[in-house]
Structure 1
Amino acid sequence: MEWLKKISQAIGYIESNITNDISYDEAAKIACCSKYYFQRMFSYVSGITLSEYIRRRRMTSAAFDLQTSDMKVMDISLKYGYKSPTSFNRAFQSVHGVSPTVARVHGTLLNAYPPISFSILVTGGENMSYRIETKEAIKIVGVRIALEEDMEQNQKIVPLFWDKILGSTLFSKICELTSKDSCDILGVTAYTNPQNIYYYIAVSTDKPVPNDMIEFEIPAATWVIFECNGHFKESVQTIFKRFLTEWLPFSGYEYAQLPDIEIYHVNDQESKSGHAEVWIAIKKERGEK
């Protein structure tokens, strides 16, 4: 459960600096992970991006200031880090649906977003089937696209990348790199540093790398593997959230912060039901034997 305590402490830092500059690097340091992985985990667990959470919290407090004080809109804008009245007005309307001026009118309907807190909840006891496997390094070959540390942008980039590849001849070329009758297509998110974040659509293969593709090696690791069925995107996101909130806290493992792997089975009978697997690298918690 240690990681939940750490991420809760990071949220505490954000809340205590809601009217100051908030350093994602500092929040990630408190959570004992990189800025990229902190944003990624936060997004999966909370269902919104970190930037959107901070925007909602600031605009919630700004609405209270508008209704309970005589502060000028410009002063409130500056208080929450918006130097431009236009950008403040845009952010406020995105959260409340009305302008800051209208928000001062008695009876105006506004939205309040309380601080997020992370805890273990006893749910309905729904099973979460998994297996743990240790694998040597895996060579993959395929195509990739650069990602950003901003998870809000990545959530737009990856689906468009899939659409582009599925609609081109590259998809069949990637599948041809495997000798199986069926093709296991991998979606791999790999973070090395802030300037080196990529999402790969690839296959595991020992064949030569075509000129229009690239090779990447996934490090040897211990993996917890979850199966999911149904709509791919929704199922994969649900798996990651349940991994972080239901499986990981009681497992005796830590998230290893290695590439995350999605495996989609195509050209077989299972593909009709949307069969997929999610591979997440893990390691023993500190202090565990």
Structure 2
Amino acid sequence: MIAALNRVVGFIDDHLTEEIDVAALTSELGTTEYHLRRMFSSLSGMPLSEYIRRRRMTVAAAEVLTGDAELLGIAVRYGYGSTEAFGRAFRAVHGVSPGDARRAGGPLRTQPQLRFRLTVEGNSPMDTRIADRPTFRLIGHAARVPLIYEGANPHIQAHIAALPVSEHDRLKALSDTEPAGLLQVSDDVDPDSTEGSELTYLHGVAITEGTPAPSDLDAIEVPAGTWAVFRIQGAYPAALQTTWAATATDWFPSNPWRLRPGPSIVAVLDRAADFSTATCELWLPVEREAS
């Protein structure tokens, strides 16, 4: 995966003035656009689309400052149909318009070319198992919430707090398959995993394909497939978020698996009364990397 990411970065720099077909490129590299975008954003801290935009504007800035070319010609060369569209992208990266930058010589914000490296320290073993699961359903109460990486998500907290205690008991009684118990489900996540982008959060349980579900509950159909299951113990939600990040930095680059589209699921197996610590399982949908 690390080699594939570096090849993508090199390809981007070689084709900054062209339309970049990420799907075709990832197919040539033997991976998928979905997995590559998720790994890129997890490791670099920015969406792939944002990196492409920053690199284009970094290189374009040199032409704006040092060349005599008209701004429209520069805009068209970098894929923008007008100086207005180019100016918006330029200002979003550099904080000034192309015209002001040309007159004043800056200020400019440079996006260096990324280089991905795998550092193996071996001091954080991950308790992981691979599970093949038949088709099942996730049922419960869903809401659209923004993606937040660090700390508790107040939107999710408010969603759960609005449910009466009796509803939690009702849901637990409906659970009849793995992942077991009450579940925290994230679905329809932006492939670039952009912080602040919306996702569907479902507070619910898993049931088998043939189990009838109450009509008042939201449902997510989950096709048969393979899952990587990470067991986590410690401070909540810090330990869970640390493990989630480590799947991208440590586990996926070192194992012959890649993410596939589907919901990510957190099963809370045990917890302290104040939820300060917990034992959880993180379920991620995976498939084998092409050999």
Q: TM-score, normalised by structure 2?
A: 0.74
Per the alignment, residue 50 of structure 1 pairs with 48
Mapped pair 1:219 → 2:221: no
Contact 2:269 2:281 in 1 (8 A): no
1:205 is paired with a residue whose SS is: strand
- Residue 249 of structure 2 is aligned with which of 245, 249, 255? 245
1:44-193, aligned counterparts within 5 Å? 44-106=42-104, 108-122=106-120, 126-137=123-134, 138-142=136-140, 155=147, 162=156, 165-166=159-160, 168-169=162-163, 173=167, 176-179=170-173, 184-189=182-187
Deviation at 1:165, TM superposition (A): 4.0
Mapped pair 1:254 → 2:254: no
Per the alignment, residue 194 of structure 1 pairs with none
Deviations 1:193-252 (A, max 9, x none): xxxxx84513123563122322523524252414275574x766653442233223334x
- Residue 272 of structure 2 is aligned with which of 269, 275, 289? 269
Contact 2:229 2:281 in 1 (8 A): no
Letter in 2 for 1:136: R
2:139 is paired with a residue whose SS is: strand
Deviation at 1:56, TM superposition (A): 0.4
CA pair 222-74 structure 1, distance change in 2 beyond 3 A: closer
Equivalent-residue separation in structure 2 for 1:266 and 1:87 (angstroms): 51
Deviations 1:136-193 (A, max 9, x none): 33442235579xxxxxx9859xx798478446549974662212999522314379xx
Equivalent-residue separation in structure 1 for 2:290 and 2:36 (angstroms): 19
Contact 1:142 1:200 in 2 (8 A): no
Letter in 1 for 2:254: F
Contact 2:138 2:220 in 1 (8 A): yes
Equivalent-residue separation in structure 2 for 1:273 and 1:86 (angstroms): 51
Name whichever of 41-50 and 24-33 sits farther off. 24-33
Contact 2:186 2:201 in 1 (8 A): yes
- Structure 2 residue runs of 5 or longer lacking an equivalent are 190-198
Per the alignment, residue 149 of structure 1 pairs with none
Deviation at 1:262, TM superposition (A): 3.0
Deviation at 1:72, TM superposition (A): 1.5
Counting matched residue pairs gives 268
CA pair 68-172 structure 1, distance change in 2 beyond 3 A: farther
Q: Which has the higher helix share?
A: 1
Q: TM-score, normalised by structure 1?
A: 0.74
- Structure 1 residue runs of 5 or longer lacking an equivalent are 147-152, 192-197
CA pair 229-48 structure 1, distance change in 2 beyond 3 A: farther
Equivalent-residue separation in structure 1 for 2:99 and 2:188 (angstroms): 45
Letter in 2 for 1:92: F
Deviation at 1:86, TM superposition (A): 1.8
Equivalent-residue separation in structure 2 for 1:36 and 1:226 (angstroms): 24
Note the aligned Cα RMSD (angstroms): 3.7
Equivalent-residue separation in structure 2 for 1:165 and 1:73 (angstroms): 49
Letter in 1 for 2:265: E
2:16 is paired with a residue whose SS is: coil
Per the alignment, residue 35 of structure 2 pairs with 37
1:203 is paired with a residue whose SS is: strand
